[in-house]
Amino acid sequence: MHVGPILRAMLRNKVRFGLLAIEVALTLAIVANCVSLIIDARTELSRPSGFADNDLMLVTATPFNEAFRESAYRDTVVDQDLTALRAHSGVARATNTAFLPWQGGGSSTQFRRDVRAERIRTQIYPADEQLLDTLGVRLVEGRNFTREDVLRNTERLRALNASDRERDATGRAITTVTVPAIISRAYAALVFPEGSPVGKTFEDDDGDRWQVVGVVEYFFNPYAWKIGEYVTFYPQRQGSYEGGTSYLVRVVPGQMDAVHKAVEQTLASVNDTRTYRIRTIPDVKRRFLGGQTLLVRLLTLVIVVLVFITGLGIVGLTSFSVAERTRQIGTRRALGARRGDILRHFLIENWIVTTLGIALGIGLSVALNLTLLSQVDGARMTPQLLAVGALLLWAAGLLATLWPAMRGARVTPSEATRNI
Amino acid sequence: MLLHNIWIAWKSLRRSPVLSGLIIACIAIGIAFATTFAAVRHAFTRHPLPDKEASLRYVRLDNWDPREPYPGGAADALPPQITYRDAMALRRSTVPVRQTASFRARLTVFPEPSVGRPTKEDVRLAHADFFQMFDVPFRYGSGWTRESDEKLDQVVVISEALNERVFGGRNSVGQTLRIETRDFRVVGVLAGWLPSVRVYDMTGNALSEPEPVYLPFGLVVPMELRTVGNSDGWGGRGGSPTASFAARLASGESTWVQYWVELPSPADEQAYRSLIESYIAEQRRLGRFGRPTNYRVSSIGTLMDDFQVAPKETFALLMVGLLFLVVAAVNLIGLLLGKFLARANEVGVRRALGASRRDVFLQHLVECQVVAVLGGAIGLGLAALSLRSLNAFMLDTTSRGDLFRLDLQMLLLALALSVAAGLISGIYPAWRICRLAPASHLKV
């Protein structure tokens, strides 16, 4: 089979084949970029938190009773709340913490090894001795907080913040304290690259020392500034009159609904001068990831419909070009060309067009990718992705040509001469 | 002539229903995707208060740590809000005709015990000018006066929904509402206020609904109110909830107040900018503002860009939608070419009977437009349907179910895109068919 005649035939129909090539090029550009965005979004969607997300629930009780302004009163109620929550048969663990996974933020601060070192940002949350077990994160080094840590540290920080601290010229407090801390392995690796952090300390801007007592294996809570995997927990009772008291509750698997229904009553039986807000972590997570979920769905729809439309376009144009050349086909058949020759002619013709389109499409994909990256955080277009896209389009192109080409091959010599 | 051409186009459509159907479907799908994604983008970029773009300005000051920039990447990044003490200092200026500091707190509202249990409500603290600055609509009464700001009157403005719940929807102006430990006099009830973005506070989730309760800003001191929003700070444990209230207000570099001013003319804006510069210089002598002078006096539109109110993904969607329409248009060229050339004989007859090339060209172009507008209309219908399901999805994940809609701008856009697609796709096939030599298509 000679390519020469095919090329010459195509050159007589530049516009038609040009259109087809452009359509293939645009399709490749759009599909490759959509897939790239989908891969990015799916990475976000499937990123584990390291917690038992499905069984977690956050309960906030906010008082409207002035007695709660007294920290001693509040502490008593916190202990009673926790006892009541843990007494529920559907509750596996309960902890008093301000940490709410999957809301896309939280609180953060910066620490450094010493005055000369660079500050490194981390998320930071107060925790009690039950937090790690409730979240379901594994301690890989050192120890968990003890009840003793929580009580002692709460007292100390309260005393510290009761009045303004005396400071030196650089803004550091004159008298400082040492706070026990549990950090994530990712943060440990940044601050203490040389090895085991347990027992070592870092400091905050006040000059207070934070001593690492434990390291958790993995932690992820989405946060701006790319500090999702860095966390520091410190032992402290959480709660205030204004913000209320928060509990993270881990339910026995399958008991979410039952606990959800009962939890308000449970807390109300301890003290009913409060309002309650109950959020399940699966729900918080679903809402947080809503945008990404939607993006994946929309882009998938775009890809499916687009490939369908392009396929239709190829079928349409090839049918048209077969129908138009019925006479030539008949003549060729009469002169000895076999059906296979005709079929091959159309397939090769299509292959040339698709290849042209793919070459153009690779350029377009990169251009579109760069345009998108100027606005959207995302990954660069990878050669692998383009290669897969090209292979798929070749296959789709051949498939879409096959039917009209086979119809062309069935043209008999007599048919061609019958009708002018 | 035009009507005649439209009539011919209609007849032609009816004659080859399958091909015509494909052509219309092709345009419809292209328009549906492009319009849907444009409407999604538009929902976030639409200006909520176009009349105020020229005069309302939002103030930001870089009071951050001299040793490092505000986190976020850019070297000239600055905190999204300002400190309480800077807000109080700015407020002394008489350059702005209106100005308000504001932030969001969360307080307990006590209805009459017979009406219901106490509830926690989001509360907006603001100055009297707030309501006029943001064109807040009132069902009953109005905002409070500047005098009330000065005297720390215990006055409150509530939303229509809260008024419904607490006062049964009647005109509650003059009634008393207990918030925390104090009694407030209702001075105004809003009239279903729901701007497309929470224009006065784009920190946090800019799509949130406006708060149900509004109190004079000055009450922050006697009531010891804290923000429930962002309070980025540096130095000491600036953002820590454990720092004492007094310490946070009087000193500290914790930023949690939003500051808006209304400056009627560019000259006023210039005057206000130099005022800020001299304030920064003065504070610098007291040891603050250790970073290079950096402040912003931004309009709503600028702020929407800076705070990235529109999720970046919506830009990607818009691009994808428009490119999709281009693919549909390219596809259309092929389909139209096939449809027109199949009719070559008929055109040959028309030409032989005296129709000029121009007549034939126009006739086919009109046919393309008829198809395009028909397809565009169907596409709009599809877009409306998909926006409805998108709204349902948003209602489920954000509690806003009215975000995406086809307003006049979107309708015009869809129309323009349809006409453009029809024109661009139609010109070449129409030109091809009008160039055909009549003789070769007439039976000899």
Q: How many Å apart are CA B435 and CA B430, to the nearest integer?
A: 9
- Look at residue B31 in the predicted model and tell me its pLDDT: 95
Query: Residue A280: inside a domain, yes or no?
Result: no
- What range defines the domain where residue A312 resides? 3-46+291-414
Quote the Cα angle for A71-A74-A77, to 5°: 155
Q: Do residues B87 and B259 touch, judged by C-beta distance below 8 A?
A: yes
| Chain A residues near residue B242 by CB distance under 8 angstroms | 157-158, 160-161
Q: What would the mean pLDDT of B115-134 be, rounded to a whole number?
A: 93
Pair (A371, A307) in one structural domain: yes
Closest to A290 (Cα-Cα) out of A37, A39, A36, A44: A44
Mean pLDDT of chain B: 89
Q: Assess B442–A contact: CB distance below 8 Å, yes or no.
A: no
Question: How remote is the C-alpha of B380 from its chain's centroid?
Answer: 21
| Chain A residues near residue B229 by CB distance under 8 angstroms | none
Residue A67: DSSP 8-state: G
Q: Do residues B409 and B38 touch, judged by C-beta distance below 8 A?
A: no
- Look at residue B443 in the predicted model and tell me its pLDDT: 61
CA distance B327 to chain A (A): 6
Closest to B93 (Cα-Cα) out of B291, B217, B277, B316: B277
Amino acid sitting at position A346: F
- Look at residue A224 in the predicted model and tell me its pLDDT: 80
User: What's the longest Cα–Cα distance across chain B?
Assistant: 103
Q: What would the mean pLDDT of B101-122 be, rounded to a whole number?
A: 91
> Greater confidence, A10 or B190?
B190
> Coil, strand, or helix at residue B25?
helix
In DSSP terms, which residues pair with B110 in a beta bridge?
B178
- Contact across the interface for B235 and A277, Cβ inside 8 Å: no
Q: Do residues B220 and B95 touch, judged by C-beta distance below 8 A?
A: no
pLDDT-flagged residues of chain A (< 50): 420
- Look at residue A119 in the predicted model and tell me its pLDDT: 87
Closest to B322 (Cα-Cα) out of B413, B389, B409: B413
pLDDT score of B20 more than 90: no
Joined together, the tokens standing for residue A144 give 């968990």
Query: Residue A283: inside a domain, yes or no?
Result: no
Joined together, the tokens standing for residue B357 give 């090339």
- Contact across the interface for B244 and A164, Cβ inside 8 Å: yes
End-to-end Cα distance, chain B: 31
Joined together, the tokens standing for residue B221 give 């001191």
* Residue B296: other Cβ atoms inside 10 A: 17
Q: Do residues B144 and B187 touch, judged by C-beta distance below 8 A?
A: yes
Q: How many Å apart are CA A79 and CA A238, to the nearest integer?
A: 12
Query: Residue A269: inside a domain, yes or no?
Result: no
Joined together, the tokens standing for residue A329 give 């086909």
Q: How many Å apart are CA B378 and CA B383, to the nearest integer?
A: 9
A contact test, residue of B232, B307, B313 with most A CBs within 10 A = B313
Last residue of a domain, one of A237, A264, A282: A237
- Look at residue B236 in the predicted model and tell me its pLDDT: 56
Closest to A204 (Cα-Cα) out of A173, A230, A233: A173
| Chain B residues near residue A26 by CB distance under 8 angstroms | 323, 326-327, 330
| Chain B residues near residue A66 by CB distance under 8 angstroms | 181
| Chain B residues near residue A23 by CB distance under 8 angstroms | 327, 330-331, 334
| Chain A residues near residue B234 by CB distance under 8 angstroms | 205
- Look at residue B342 in the predicted model and tell me its pLDDT: 79
Query: Residue A277: inside a domain, yes or no?
Result: no
In DSSP terms, which residues pair with A109 in a beta bridge?
A122
A106 to A292, B62, B82, B228: CA distances (angstroms): 20, 22, 20, 12
Last residue of a domain, one of A172, A202, A237: A237
pLDDT score of B241 more than 50: no
**Own/partner pairs, A196-202, CB within 8 angstroms, 24+ separation:** A196/A141, A197/A141, A198/A141, A198/A142, A199/A142, A202/A111, A202/A112, A202/A113
Question: How remote is the C-alpha of B219 from its chain's centroid?
Answer: 31
CA distance A361 to chain B (A): 12
The DSSP result for A309-374, as a single string, is HHHHHHHHHHHHHHHHTHHHHHHHHHTT--HHHHHHHHHHHHHHHHHHHHHHHHHHHHHHHHHHHT
Domain count, chain A: 2
Q: Assess B316–A contact: CB distance below 8 Å, yes or no.
A: yes
A contact test, residue of B65, B331, B428, B440 with most A CBs within 10 A = B331
B contact test, residue of A64, A204, A307 with most B CBs within 10 A = A64
pLDDT score of B228 more than 90: no
Q: Assess B33–A contact: CB distance below 8 Å, yes or no.
A: yes
In A, minimum Cα distance to B322 occurs at A30
Query: Residue A400: inside a domain, yes or no?
Result: yes
> Coil, strand, or helix at residue B429?
helix
Q: Do residues B362 and B433 touch, judged by C-beta distance below 8 A?
A: no
* Phi, psi values for residue B8, rounded to 5°: -60, -45
- Look at residue B239 in the predicted model and tell me its pLDDT: 41
Pair (A225, A117) in one structural domain: yes
List, as ranges, residues 227-286 from B with C-beta within 8 Å of A. 228, 234-237, 239-244, 247, 251
Query: Residue A300: inside a domain, yes or no?
Result: yes
Residue B165 neighbours by CB under 8 Å, 6+ apart: B111, B115, B116
In B, minimum Cα distance to A298 occurs at B317
> Greater confidence, B439 or B238?
B439
* Phi, psi values for residue A278, rounded to 5°: -120, 125
Say how many residues make up chain B: 444
Strand B182-190 versus strand B138-141 pairing type: antiparallel
Q: What would the mean pLDDT of B98-110 be, rounded to a whole number?
A: 94
Report pLDDT digits (tens) over B32-71. Answer: 999 999 999 999 999 999 999 999 999 999 999 888 888 8
Joined together, the tokens standing for residue B308 give 């990235």
ipTM for the predicted complex comes to: 0.83
Pair (A123, A232) in one structural domain: yes
- Contact across the interface for B338 and A372, Cβ inside 8 Å: no
Query: Residue A63: inside a domain, yes or no?
Result: no
pLDDT band at B246 (very low <50, low <70, confident <90, very high): low
Q: How many Å apart are CA B294 and CA B116, to the nearest integer?
A: 49
- Contact across the interface for A375 and B394, Cβ inside 8 Å: no
Query: Residue A252: inside a domain, yes or no?
Result: no
B335 to A59, A315, B330: CA distances (angstroms): 60, 10, 9
Which of A282-296, B12-26, B243-257, B312-326 is predicted with the least confidence, judged by mean pLDDT?
Answer: B243-257
